[in-house]
Structure 1
Amino acid sequence: MADSAITSVKNITSTRKVVDARDIGKIHIPAENTHLFENKAKQMFSIAEGVGRNLGLVESAASPNAFKNQINEVLEKYNWDVETFQKTKLKPVDKLSETELSIMKEVRDVVLKPTSDTALQKTIPGQDIEKYISGVYTEIGGYVAKIDDMGHIKNYDDVVESSRLDYSFPDGWRPYPEDGDTYGKIVFKSQKIDSIEIPYGERFGGTNIDGPPCTLNGFTGSRNGEIVPEWQFDDRYLPKQGAEIYKVINGNEILVGVFNGKKFVAVN
């Protein structure tokens, strides 16, 4: 799969820039490559269908399978609207009433757990991209989300807010700086699905003790209208072969590496 992905990228990237899908109509495509571009676009536009099919083309709208497109139906059972959900989602868990706690947990538990065929996204700081490409890093762990729920979110500020990556370490270092424009994105599948769980805090029956901006309720604390159910690996694991790593600059995705089963191989 890695060889196929690399070959495809070499065939289509030399004559076009990687841009947001909203700008595709503005691209000048040489006549001799128009047919090739159309065929590749048809084959690769939806990364939610599987790892190895995006190759730099981006989505501008949330997948029909995104939980944000399903939550209204779920909330009807509780006579809640999305606004009520969003406000409750941001409450500290120790401030939730028993009713709110019960509803939030039931809503989160509706989200289907990833399988070994589910495309996932791990967002990484821009400075870590080279560490994966060079082989210093090979494994993935920590917090992840389904591509269905995150794949449509591209711009740096939107990704940072949607995943609440606006945290700093005790020494003041912030992996995703406020004035940044670049981050890394790994699109992958995993065989270690039994090692992934909802990052619930104690009141939700879990063991997560991470501090803010972690909500401890299984959703990111996004304040921009996005709804992102998050998942957490209990350790770091190798992804399945064919995982892709992108460098994303100002919302434009550039495929820079493909996992060959042992390490990420650079795509030139």
Structure 2
Amino acid sequence: MVPSVFTHPEQLGFFITFVVSLPFSSKNRELMKLMIKQTYDEWKAEYDNADAGDKGFMIGQLIGEAITFAVEAGGFVKGIKGLTQFVKNGGFRKAVKQVVKMGSSVKKLLKMKPAEFIKSVKKIFKRKDHYEVLLNNDELVKVPYDDLTVMQKSKFDGFVDSHMQNDVVPDRVYGEDGIGIVSGEGTINGKLNKKTLSNYDSYMNDDLISTLDDIGLSIDEFNELRMVSADKLTSSQRRTIKSIRDAISTPTNDTIMQKVIPQRDINAYLNGDYTQVGGYITKAQDVKQLNNYDDIFQSLRLDYEGTQFKPVSDDSIGIIRFKTPEASKIEIPYGKSMDGVITDEFPFTGNGFTAATNGQVIPEYKCQKYLDIYDGAELYSMAKDGTESLLGIYDSNLGRFIKIGK
């Protein structure tokens, strides 16, 4: 049986055109013979070591694999002329080597239809350079990214995407380190959820008072300064609040950051339109105490002119927790009076802290540009009552968030 790799109509069209031409084109027949010979040469050692009863199957299978590669190559090299060049330049032989290097279990997975794949898989582990698939018979199959052709990787990613989008097996999706992100009730809990953040020190609860004590400033005096736009402070006051803000550790590539997004932007991240993070952000640990939509809205002062945050009509707010390889592009958003460059209008303060009206002290940051994010970033929705739901996990190989659940 010829493996099915038709994912686009043009591939099927190419296959039909090529096969139909064989009785009438000696050049195409020679091309087909060359593909089969190259396939056989690469498979010969495996064929010679096979049991006698398996050899008939393997002969048919190698022909099927040759045709499969003909179709797949045709989808990229555009036509029989391009395919001829692909074969003669060694591209076809190299592709066959990849198949030979893959185990039979991997090839079996790649030939499965989505429904069959879902039924056959117990768990999925995502590693740095490969997937590990634990089958129902407890066989662990490694699928290296580099061993897959572009089409095969796309097909496999589609299977994983289908698992996650449809929540068919919510307890089978695992992060890069192989540690499950599933609760005992079978629902998916992110690794960057509220419970995880509770283990981190927050600036307001752990560092602020100590810093203020060192400079002889009370919390009330500090809050008076923090709430005032920097350009309305005296030079002495600006130096004081800048010394406090500069004492806070700078985010690194290992720091969990948090970006709040309007409800209307959530789908743009889930469907792949948005893949980066920009604008104003915070350290996730510094906002872990914000328990609901209103807390976030007031603490981050999302009531700026033109805001897309609508606390009266919105059902939820979006939260992205992430690490970035571009932490050097994160800066303290000082206004011009604080030797910075940001000129936004109030409630932007220009002093590095938000003008929170509810007693919260939130150090804020701003991205110099849109930031790339690391694999495993998590997108949540927070309901008005503070309930968080994990919506998506960022897949760096796909370059987008993969939807979790329905």
- The interval holding the TM-score normalised by the smaller chain is 0.7 to 0.9
Specify whether residues 166 and 240 from structure 1 end up closer, same or farther in structure 2 by C-alpha distance, changes over 3 A only: same
Query: For 1:75 and 1:58, how far apart are their aligned partners in 2?
Result: 28
> Offset at 1:79?
1.8
Q: Secondary structure at the match of 2:304?
A: coil
- List aligned pairs for 1:63-102, cutoff 5 A: 63-102=200-239
> Offset at 1:253?
0.6
Work out whether residues 163 and 222 of structure 1, in 8 Å CA contact, stay in contact via their aligned partners in 2. Answer: yes
Residue 318 of structure 2 is aligned to residue 147 of structure 1: no
Q: Secondary structure at the match of 2:260?
A: strand
Alignment root-mean-square deviation, CA: 2.4
> Offset at 1:53?
1.6
Query: For 2:321 and 2:244, how far apart are their aligned partners in 1?
Result: 26
> Offset at 1:203?
1.3
Q: Secondary structure at the match of 1:70?
A: helix
Q: Secondary structure at the match of 2:305?
A: coil
Residue 381 of structure 2 is aligned to residue 243 of structure 1: no
- List aligned pairs for 1:215-226, cutoff 5 A: 215-226=349-360
Name the residue aligned to 1:31: none
Q: Which has the larger radius of gyration?
A: 2
Query: For 1:106 and 1:62, how far apart are their aligned partners in 2?
Result: 27
Specify whether residues 80 and 125 from structure 1 end up closer, same or farther in structure 2 by C-alpha distance, changes over 3 A only: same
Name the residue aligned to 1:109: 246
Which residue, 318, 323, 332 being the options, matches 1:198?
A: 332
The amino acid of 1:208's aligned partner reads: I
Work out whether residues 229 and 348 of structure 2, in 8 Å CA contact, stay in contact via their aligned partners in 1. Answer: no
Give the structure, 1 or 2, with the largest relative contact order (CA under 8 Å, sep 6 or more).
1
Query: For 1:95 and 1:168, how far apart are their aligned partners in 2?
Result: 20
> Offset at 1:64?
2.6
Name the residue aligned to 2:298: 161
Query: For 2:311 and 2:319, how far apart are their aligned partners in 1?
Result: 18
The amino acid of 1:247's aligned partner reads: S
Which residue, 121, 127, 134 being the options, matches 2:271?
A: 134
Name the residue aligned to 2:310: 177
> Offset at 1:87?
1.0
Q: Secondary structure at the match of 1:12?
A: coil
Residue 169 of structure 2 is aligned to residue 4 of structure 1: no
Looking at secondary structure, tell me which structure has more helix per residue: 2
> Offset at 1:69?
2.3
Work out whether residues 200 and 217 of structure 1, in 8 Å CA contact, stay in contact via their aligned partners in 2. Answer: yes
Which residue, 370, 379, 394 being the options, matches 1:259?
A: 394
Query: For 1:224 and 1:251, how far apart are their aligned partners in 2?
Result: 16
> Offset at 1:202?
1.0
Name the residue aligned to 2:259: 122
Query: For 1:252 and 1:137, how far apart are their aligned partners in 2?
Result: 24
Q: Secondary structure at the match of 2:391?
A: strand
Work out whether residues 59 and 151 of structure 1, in 8 Å CA contact, stay in contact via their aligned partners in 2. Answer: no
Q: Could you give the per-residue CA deviations for residues 178-222 of structure 1, whole angstroms, max 9, x where no partner exists?
A: 413410000000110111110001111110111111110000110
Work out whether residues 266 and 318 of structure 2, in 8 Å CA contact, stay in contact via their aligned partners in 1. Answer: yes
Work out whether residues 120 and 146 of structure 1, in 8 Å CA contact, stay in contact via their aligned partners in 2. Answer: yes
> Offset at 1:8?
4.0
Query: For 1:213 and 1:67, how far apart are their aligned partners in 2?
Result: 20
> Offset at 1:146?
0.4
Q: Could you give the per-residue CA deviations for residues 3-44 of structure 1, whole angstroms, max 9, x where no partner exists?
A: 5149945x438656x9xxxxxxxxxxxxxxxxxxxxxxxxx8
Query: For 1:5 and 1:12, how far apart are their aligned partners in 2?
Result: 14
Q: Could you give the per-residue CA deviations for residues 130-157 of structure 1, whole angstroms, max 9, x where no partner exists?
A: 1100001101011110011012213000
Q: Secondary structure at the match of 1:248?
A: strand
Specify whether residues 12 and 259 from structure 1 end up closer, same or farther in structure 2 by C-alpha distance, changes over 3 A only: same
Q: Could you give the per-residue CA deviations for residues 202-245 of structure 1, whole angstroms, max 9, x where no partner exists?
A: 11111011111111000011011111111111111221111000
Query: For 2:367 and 2:205, how far apart are their aligned partners in 1?
Result: 23
Query: For 1:62 and 1:82, how far apart are their aligned partners in 2?
Result: 24
Specify whether residues 82 and 59 from structure 1 end up closer, same or farther in structure 2 by C-alpha distance, changes over 3 A only: farther
The amino acid of 2:389's aligned partner reads: I
Name the residue aligned to 2:321: 187
> Offset at 1:101?
0.8
Structure 1 spans left out of the alignment, 5+ residues: 19-43, 45-51
The amino acid of 1:166's aligned partner reads: D
Work out whether residues 375 and 394 of structure 2, in 8 Å CA contact, stay in contact via their aligned partners in 1. Answer: yes
Number of matched residues? 229
Work out whether residues 63 and 152 of structure 1, in 8 Å CA contact, stay in contact via their aligned partners in 2. Answer: no
Query: For 1:226 and 1:138, how far apart are their aligned partners in 2?
Result: 30
> Offset at 1:94?
2.3
Q: Larger deviation: 176-185 or 99-108?
A: 176-185
The amino acid of 2:230's aligned partner reads: V
The amino acid of 1:246's aligned partner reads: Y
The amino acid of 2:386's aligned partner reads: G
